[in-house]
Amino acid sequence: MLAGAAGFVASFRQWTKLIVYVLGSALIPLFLLTYLIAQGALGAAFDDVILFTAQRYASIQSVPFGFVADNQNRPLVYLFPIVALLTLITCSQDWRACFKDRLFRLCIAFSIAGFISCFPRPDIAHIAFVTPLVCPLLTYCTKRIVVSWLPKFRYALAAVVFELGILPVFAFSGVVYAALRAELIATPRGSVIDWNDGTRQLLARIAVAPSSNRYFFYPYMPMWPFLTAREHVSKYDIFIPGYTTPSQYQEACISAMRSASWFVIARNWTDPNFLREVFPAIRNVEPPERKRFELAIESGFEFMARDGKYELRRRVKSLDETVCAGIAE
- pLDDT for 19: 86
Task: Give the dihedral sign, CA 179/184/189/195.
Answer: negative
Phi then psi for residue 118, to 5 deg, are -70, -25
Cβ-in-10-Å burial (0-12, 13-18, 19+) of 221 comes to buried
Closest by CA position to 17, among listed 106, 98, 93, 82: 106
- pLDDT for 10: 64
- pLDDT for 12: 62
Model pTM score: 0.86
Domains annotated for the chain, with CATH where assigned, are: 1-60 (no CATH), 67-181 (no CATH), 189-324 (3.40.50)
pLDDT along the chain (329 residues), means of 10: 81 78 91 96 93 90 95 94 95 84 91 95 96 96 92 94 93 92 90 85 94 95 95 95 94 94 95 94 93 94 94 89 89
- pLDDT for 195: 74
Phi then psi for residue 316, to 5 deg, are -95, 115
